[in-house]
Amino acid sequence: MPEILMSLADGAKALGLKPNGARSRFKAGKIKGERDNRGRILIWVDEAAEPSKQSVSNNSKTSLEGAPNYSKNAFEAHIRTLMTQLERAQTELSELRLRASAADRLEAEIAGLEALRDELRTDRDHWRQMAIKNQAGLEAARPLKRGLFGRLGRT
């Protein structure tokens, strides 16, 4: 028979146990199950299985006859939970996509600004060299002018 994965509370009802009893049996390894991403316990329950004699409470009149189909309800509840989680994940994904596109745009802008910075540095270095050459040319011409005008002015 196929087994379905149920929440701890729903699985315990289907097995005729209380949730704490199902939890302790899961921890002892007597019931197959697993933990979800949030740490909640989910147990595997055979759809057609009746509660074992161990799992029925002390009241011997307890049976599943006339009880609602817990496996179907639990399955539908699990689907609703998964749909909610999927909607949240899709919302988060769309927000992350917006952030990623903004990050890509900013990275491209950074690359453009770095190219502009490099271009400005090249221009600065060029003009600095031109200024140094002009400064050297002026200083070389000054002694000549002083010497010529100085002699003329003294006489």
Q: What is the pLDDT of residue 136?
A: 85
CB 5 within 8 A of CB 40: no
Q: What is the mean pLDDT of residues 8-28?
A: 91
Torsion of CA 60, 62, 64, 68, to 10 degrees: 180
Q: What value does the mean pLDDT of the chain take?
A: 81
Residue 102 scores a pLDDT above 80: yes
12 exposed, middle or buried (CB, 10 Å; 0-12, 13-18, 19+)? buried
Helix (H) or strand (E) holding 130: helix 70-154
Lowest mean pLDDT across 42-46, 97-101, 107-111: 42-46
User: Rounded to two decimals, what is the model's pTM?
Assistant: 0.37
Domain boundaries, the chain: 3-67
d(CA 142, CA 110): 47
Could you tell me what percent of the chain has a pLDDT over 70?
Answer: 75
